[in-house]
Structure 1
Amino acid sequence: MIRNRDLDSFDLKLLGLMQADAQQAMAALAEAVGLSVPACYRRIRRLRQTGVIQREVAIVRPKTLGWPLSMIVLVTLERERAHTMEDMMAVLRAEPEVLEAWNVTGDHDLAVRMVARDMESYDETVKRLFVIDERVRNFQTLVVIRQIKELSPVPVAAND
């Protein structure tokens, strides 16, 4: 895995540009960072192969596809079994309504970002995921009223 100190100014510029628009033509990227097209292509291929660029995706607004409700669910798990966290993470990874999930510190063990078509479907999903699951001690739902900031690029900082 490449670390920040392994990235030079060309890599950092490319990462900044690609986070803004990953579909830019290779020639445009090369010109913007001051490299030849083949050199730019090799660098981007290396960034992909080493996992610096995890993947390139289209970010779709959930409302467009019929998912108007967004929630953040804070989950506290029981700690009686050795594999409780791993089992719960597998359940969340397999759930289409779960967009993101994090293992966190503090009063809760998991923070889960999910979507729903309506409150009834959310209630059904929550019952299946959290209410009847014995691994879950309790959970708290935060309904998103308005998104203030959309998914943003990771800040590109100079090497340390």
Structure 2
Amino acid sequence: MKPLVDIDEIDAKILQLLIVDARTSLKDLAKKCGISSVSVLNRVKRLKKLGVITGATLFAPIEKFGLEIAASIGIELGPEANIDELLKFFREETDLMEPSVSVGKFDLTAFVCAEKIASLNEEVETIRKQPGVRKVIVNVWAGRPNTNIEDLDLTPLKDE
């Protein structure tokens, strides 16, 4: 299978370094990749244009904002459900993060953070009341999320 974007080993190294520390300077990236700062800048610009790099993301501990609870929500829908309308509602009218269509046990999944169980329950009840929602399952996380994104394999695929 041909990759959607062509990256080489140097692009992959730049991406791995930025995953570990998105604030790494062009000079440091160049030194670690064995190329010039101008080459790094051109590669980063190309990766942005391709949509591989879309910006910097803040991953702040939720506790710093008074949000003590993190939970995954699975939503099972009935045949009458309008998925597009539900996703629009969830994005605009709730505190759900990343509500999206899923494959597996649930039709939709989302992530939510809340101050306490009562506020999480309010969010769940809002979901349950929506037309077409058959079942809502909540899994409260016992610890902080750990994405391990630095372990992502970015090795360029070879054409077969």
Deviation at 1:106, TM superposition (A): 2.2
Give the total of aligned pairs.
156
Paired position in structure 2 for 1:76? 76
In the alignment, which residue of structure 2 is the partner of 1:65?
Answer: 65
Looking at structure 2, the residues matched to 111 and 124 of structure 1 have their Cα atoms a distance apart, in angstroms, of 17
CA drift at 1:80: 1.8
Q: Percent identity?
A: 22
Change (3 A) 1:33 1:96: farther
Give the superposed CA RMSD.
2.0
Match in the other structure for 2:36? 36
1:140 counterpart letter in structure 2: I
Residue 94 of structure 1 aligns with an amino acid whose one-letter code is: E
Aligned equivalents of 1:44, 1:5: Cα separation in 2: 14
Unaligned runs of 5+ in 1: none
Residues in 2 aligned to 1:5 and 1:90: alpha-carbon distance in whole angstroms: 30
Deviation at 1:63, TM superposition (A): 0.9
Superposition misfits of 4+ residues, deviation over 6 angstroms: none
TM normalised by structure 2 equals 0.87
Q: Give the Å deviation of 1:48.
A: 0.9
Q: 1:47 to 1:5 in 2, by over 3 A?
A: closer
| 1:1-160 equivalence runs, <5 A | 3=3, 6-80=6-80, 84-94=82-92, 97-128=95-126, 130-147=127-144, 149-150=146-147, 152-153=149-150, 154-160=152-158
Q: Quote the Cα distance in structure 2 between the aligned partners of 1:96 and 1:75.
A: 14
Q: Is the 8 A contact 1:5 1:159 kept in 2?
A: no
Q: Deviations over 1:76-122 (max 9, x none)?
A: 112225xx111122223235632233321222101211110111111
Secondary structure (helix, strand or coil) at the match of 1:45 reads helix
Give unpaired runs (5+ residues) of structure 2: none
